[in-house]
Amino acid sequence: MNAIIVSTLLGVIMMFCSWVIKSAKTQRNIGLLGMLLLILANLAQLKGWWVIDIDTKGMLAFNQIGLFANMTLFILTFLYLWINGEEIDKIGNHAADYYAIFFFILCGVGILTSFDNLLMLFIGIEILSIPLYILTGADKKNLLSNEASLKYFLMGSFSTGILLLGITFIYGANGSFHLSMPMINATTHKVDEHFLMSAGLILLFAAMNFKVSAAPFHFWTPDVYDGAPTVFTSFMATIVKAAGFIAFIKVFETQREALGFTWVIILTFVIVMTLFIGNITAIFQRSVKRMLAYSSIAQAGFMLFALYGKSIFNTEALFLYIVAYSIATIGLFAVLVKMKDYSFESFNGLAKQNPGLAFLTTLFLFSLAGIPLTAGFFAKYYMLNALFTAGAGLWLLVVAIVFAACSIFYYFRLVQAMYFTPGTPSMYEMDKIYNIKLWVLAVLVILFGLFPSLLFNYLYF
């Protein structure tokens, strides 16, 4: 509860902050301080030091994994804000508003990691999504940003409608919104009830797929990620997507049983489709930003593997994947934001001009591609291991690695541009501190690449 309450309060504070404090720098620092406060509040609940306890009639249930998810996502958000603070200021002239929006989104995240009731899932997703529509359109004078925002809004509302319809069906079959209610047993119950339940779950599945941008519900992703201001794309592609996955796994951990074997079929279909579309389309992109959008679809395909089984391995794998993917993606977008032009060619010759930055970019790309010594390798390893333990056919693993190899094509294109093609990239000024921040991310990438267990120590204790 701590996270939800504190983030809402912080959101309200940031909203009114711009009346009192005019300096963008102070606003930024207050935002970061608030973020630290939020992390502390969540930590307090995790450790049982101080808990705000409100009786929600079982609509929210706080467990270790949910609180750990909060912790992970909040720390990632903190890193994100710490690195991108100045870039956020440059968009529009109301930096404090954006921080307020971030805190509201984190409130949604808090709900999504702890709901025990499908209505709370709906509320959580809405609290998460609506601020995102605003962030996407934040660059008011840019038509692309407006277009992206409108598209996102229309498609998002549509998917929310589907989500609601699914929840309604499930309620019709089950008589309850609660996740932990005893499931309908396919053998003893009436046929039409079972049908309702399955239909509801499949609608729910489709809506969740939309939120995590899995194919064939991914069509909004490239346009929205491309149109939104680059700093915000970074946030959407990482923290928001991760929250979506945590909610996704939470719903279907128990409910999937009602679907029986159908579950495996549709999940496999979606995974293979997502991997295929994400990876293959990414190869043909000419803009790095769009490539990263498709890469995020492809990575979502990998994260979906976490839904395949339901042992602790899956949760572990998902967390590690989220952390590895988010750190690398935040890093890449932080580099991208400093480029004047987002095409692959604009990276030509970066290694000559700025070897440090080229090295960092390469490290982040390696992590996304899953090369050893980076966090991404263990993320992929854990995911494959979880998939295997869950009893997936070997062919699915082979499909996974074939597409992992495909991803080399587009990630390494950037490496090739930076190191092997001559040119002079035009970039915005980068100060020393910004560089140091990126190096911190790089250290994290290598740290988790050598000792992934560091992350799990917190999961269990």
Partner 1 sequence: MFLLLFLLIPIIAAFLLLFVKKAQTIQFIAMTSGLLSLLNAVYLLFNKTVNFDMPWLLILNSRFLLQADGVAKLLILLTAISFPAIFLATSKNERSQNNIFTALMLFTQAGLMGVFLAGDALLFYFFWELALIPVYFLCSIWGGEKRIAVTFKFFLYTFVGSLLMLIGIILVYTNTPDHSFLIQSFTKAHLTTTQSVTAFALFLIAFLIKMPIFPFHTWQPDAYEQSPTAVTMVLSAVMVKMGLYGVIRWLMPLFPAAFVAHENLIILLSIIGILYASLVAIRQDDLKKLIAYSSIAHIGLMNAALFTHNQIGVQGALIQLFSHGVNVLGLWIIADVIEQQSGTRSMKALGGLAKKQPTLAILLVGFSFANIALPLTNAFVGEFLMFNSLFQFNPWIAAAAGVSVVLAAIYTLNMVQKVAYGEVSEAISIMQGPNKNAQAVLILLLVIVFLTGVYPQPLFDVTADTLKQLFVK
Least distance CB 321 / partner 1 (angstroms): 16
Q: Where would I find the H helices in 343-393?
A: 350-353, 355-369, 375-389
Nearer to partner 1, 62 or 411 (CB): 411
> Do 324 and 266 form a contact (C-beta atoms < 8 A)?
no
| Rounded CA separation 275/226 (Å) | 20
Nearer to partner 1, 219 or 381 (CB): 381
Nearer to partner 1, 98 or 419 (CB): 419
DSSP E strands, 225-320 = none
DSSP letter, residue 189: S
Taking CB under 8 A as the criterion, the residue among 16, 269, 284, 451 binding partner 1 is: 451
The crossing angle, in degrees rounded to 10, of helices 24-47 and 2-20 is: 170
| Rounded CA separation 291/225 (Å) | 10
| Rounded CA separation 267/273 (Å) | 10
Least distance CB 369 / partner 1 (angstroms): 9
Nearer to partner 1, 78 or 412 (CB): 412
Nearer to partner 1, 111 or 291 (CB): 291
Tokens of 257: 């049983």
Least distance CB 120 / partner 1 (angstroms): 32
Least distance CB 278 / partner 1 (angstroms): 17
Nearer to partner 1, 103 or 366 (CB): 366
Nearer to partner 1, 287 or 389 (CB): 389
Piece of the chain touching partner 1 by CB under 8 A; list 6-14, 33-41, 270-278, 389-397:
389-397
**Residues 6 or more apart whose Cβ sits within 8 Å of residue 173:** 184, 193, 194, 196, 197, 200
Least distance CB 385 / partner 1 (angstroms): 5
Least distance CB 266 / partner 1 (angstroms): 24
Q: How far is CA 8 from the centre of its chain?
A: 20
> Does residue 439 touch partner 1 according to CB under 8 A?
no
Least distance CB 373 / partner 1 (angstroms): 6
Q: How far is CA 203 from the centre of its chain?
A: 21
Nearer to partner 1, 262 or 453 (CB): 453
Binding mask of the shown chain, residues 392 to 421, with x at each position contacting partner 1 by CB under 8 A: --x--xx--xx-xx--xx--x---x--xx-
Nearer to partner 1, 335 or 358 (CB): 358
> Do 18 and 99 form a contact (C-beta atoms < 8 A)?
no
- Please name which of 76, 46, 91 lies closest in space to residue 64, comparing C-alpha atoms: 46
Least distance CB 438 / partner 1 (angstroms): 18
Tokens 């969540």 locate to: 42
| Rounded CA separation 403/398 (Å) | 9
Give the count of residues interacting with partner 1 (CB under 8 A): 27
Nearer to partner 1, 245 or 377 (CB): 377
| Rounded CA separation 424/352 (Å) | 9
| DSSP structure string for 3-72 | HHHHHHHHHHHHHHHHHH---HHHHHHHHHHHHHHHHHHHHHHHHTSS------TTSB---HHHHHHHHH
Least distance CB 253 / partner 1 (angstroms): 22
> Do 365 and 335 form a contact (C-beta atoms < 8 A)?
no
Binding mask of the shown chain, residues 257 to 296, with x at each position contacting partner 1 by CB under 8 A: ----------------------------------------
Residues 310-349 that bind partner 1 (CB under 8 A): none
Binding mask of the shown chain, residues 368 to 387, with x at each position contacting partner 1 by CB under 8 A: ---xxx---x---x--xx--
DSSP letter, residue 259: G
Tokens 């750990």 locate to: 68
| Rounded CA separation 238/227 (Å) | 16
The residues of the shown chain that bind partner 1, judged by CB under 8 A, are 366, 371-373, 377, 381, 384-385, 388-389, 394, 397-398, 401-402, 404-405, 408-409, 412, 416, 419-420, 451-453, 456
